[in-house]
């Protein structure tokens, strides 16, 4: 499995997870803090940006709530959103 980031200003490096590893909340949080979010300043500076994730259980865990993430330097203002966006019309 791998994580990929694509922005209007460029692509982030691929982050690989070892085969057979089930990524749960704590592991996902560690990957976000140590590998993903440090890339943000390079692409966004201090601009507002959105981190978009799908509905995987690790993405919805207690460890990845915005309040917990906001205690870390995230490379400027950030919002979290789920994809696809929840809709009563789908």
- The pLDDT value recorded for residue 77 is 60
Q: How confident is the model at residue 66 (pLDDT cuts 50, 70, 90)?
A: low
Q: Under a CB-based contact definition with an 8 Å cutoff, are residues 38 and 74 in contact? A: no
Q: Which residue ranges make up each domain of the chain? A: 23-90
- The pLDDT value recorded for residue 53 is 74
Evaluate if pTM is beyond 0.85.
no
CA distance 69 to 49: 14
CA distance 43 to 41: 5
CA distance 45 to 39: 10
Q: How confident is the model at residue 1 (pLDDT cuts 50, 70, 90)?
A: confident
Q: How confident is the model at residue 56 (pLDDT cuts 50, 70, 90)?
A: confident
């Amino acid at each position: 499995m791998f994580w990929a980031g694509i922005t209007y200003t460029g692509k982030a490096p691929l982050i690989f997870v070892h085969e057979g590893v089930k990524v749960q909340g704590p592991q996902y949080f560690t990957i976000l803090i140590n590998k993903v979010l440090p890339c943000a300043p390079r692409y966004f500076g201090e601009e507002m940006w959105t981190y978009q994730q799908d509905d995987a259980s690790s993405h919805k865990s207690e460890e990845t709530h915005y309040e917990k993430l906001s205690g870390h330097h995230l490379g400027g203002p950030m919002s979290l959103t789920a994809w696809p966006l929840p809709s009563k019309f789908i």
